Amino acid sequence: MSRQFESAARSWETNAGDESGSKFDFSIGESVNGLDLAEGDDEFVVTVDVPGYETADIEVRLSGANDVLHVDGERSRETDADEDQFIRRERRAQSFSRRVQLPQPVDDEDVTARLNNGVLTITLGKAESDESHHIDIE
């Protein structure tokens, strides 16, 4: 019961950002895969826990004005010819879907993703900012 209260508290903290819910994450699926977002001088690094998933099981894409990162995963249960041999079977097909609103747009040509030991690391270079530029005075 203690774990259920902790889980509920974490869920509340994630969604307490504003009235419309957290802008950081929109999760769909049976389990929530841990996700971190870090910012460097010229890049963002997103790290997602994806234990048991292979590279072919995961899809990563950008949408919007390259400021929403989508990470989706789906793995299916391997089926054996003789399923009656199992005394207990808890491993099953699973999927997850994570959405992260990035603080600013990223350069879609400067994105890399690497899967190592159940941890997906996505590096996204920040887009050149056109918000300010020098104006010569005549």
C-alpha separations of 41 from 36, 70, 114, 119, 127 in Å? 17, 22, 20, 23, 12
Strands 106-116 and 94-101: unpaired
Domain boundaries, the chain: 19-77+90-126
Rounded mean pLDDT, 81-95: 74
CA atoms within 13 A on the CB side of 21: 8
Q: Which helix (H) or strand (E) holds 15?
A: helix 2-15
Would you call 100 exposed, middle or buried from its count of C-beta atoms within 10 A (0-12, 13-18, 19+)?
A: buried
The reported pLDDT for the residue numbered 18 is 40
Rounded mean pLDDT, 81-99: 78
Rg (CA), the chain: 20
Q: Model-level pTM?
A: 0.67
What percentage of the chain carries pLDDT values higher than 70?
A: 65
At the top level of CATH, the class of 19-77+90-126 is: mainly beta
The reported pLDDT for the residue numbered 22 is 44
C-alpha span between 47 and 63 (Å, rounded): 18
The string of pLDDT tens digits covering residues 18-54 is 433 444 445 444 456 899 999 999 999 999 999 989 9
